Structure 1
C-alpha cells in the first residue's frame, strides 16, 4: 500500500503557494499592477542595492532566461531598473524604482497580514515555532549514502 504522507518539500511548496496566492489576490484586489508568481519571487530575492540577473536566477532556482524575462516584465511595469554595476563594467544591477519600493512595502504589509491570518488558524505558537525552525541554520545537505 502506498503512503499518503507527503514529504516536507511538498509541504513547503504548498505553504509557499498559500502565501503567494494570498499575496497576488490581495495585490489584485488593491488594484495593483498584476505580476506573475515568478516576478513576485524575483522581487523577494532582490537586494536593496541591486542584484545581477545571474544571481537572481541562482537565488530563484531558475534559468538566466527565466530571470531575464521576469526582470524585463518588471522593468516594463516600472517596478525595476537596470543600472551599471560599479564592481564590473560588464554587468548590470537590477534594482527597484521608487514605484517598485512602494510595491515592495505594500507586499510586505500583505505578507504580515497573511502571517497573522495563519496564526489565527493554526495558533501563534505554531507559527512562531515554524519560523524558529526555518530560521535555524541547517548546514549543508548531508552527502549521499554509499
Structure 2
C-alpha cells in the first residue's frame, strides 16, 4: 500500500532539502520513493512554484498531470474562481476515488502558505522509525493519507505514463 505524504516546512527551501534527504534514505533501502513533487512559496510571491521531482522515465512515476491537477485543486482554484467551477467538482470527485478527500485538500491548502514549502511524496516500504529519525532535526509538519491498494491501482492506472 502506498502512502501519499505531504511534508510541510516553515521556509521556502525545506522541501528541497527534504527531497535530498529522502534520496539518501532510498539509497539505504529505508524507503521507496514512487514519485515526488515540491511546492515552494517564497515570501512575497503571489503564488507557489511547483516542480515534479522525479525524472518521468522513472519506473512507477506518475504522469505530471496528476501533480498538476492536485496542485491546481490545492493552490490555484481560488485564482481561477467560478470559471471552472463544474470542472473543479469533477476533478475533486476523481481525487476522492483515489483516497484524496476534501479534508486532506483543505488541510494542505490551509497550511502550505506564503513563506513555506512542501514535499508531496508517494512512497512505499518505509522503515518508519528510521525515516522519522532522519527528519527529527528538521522543522516539519506531516500530513498523510494512506491509499488503499485499490485506490493506489486506480491512481496509477489514471496517471502513470
TM-score, scaled relative to structure 1? 0.28
- Name the larger-Rg structure: 1
* Greater per-residue strand proportion: 2
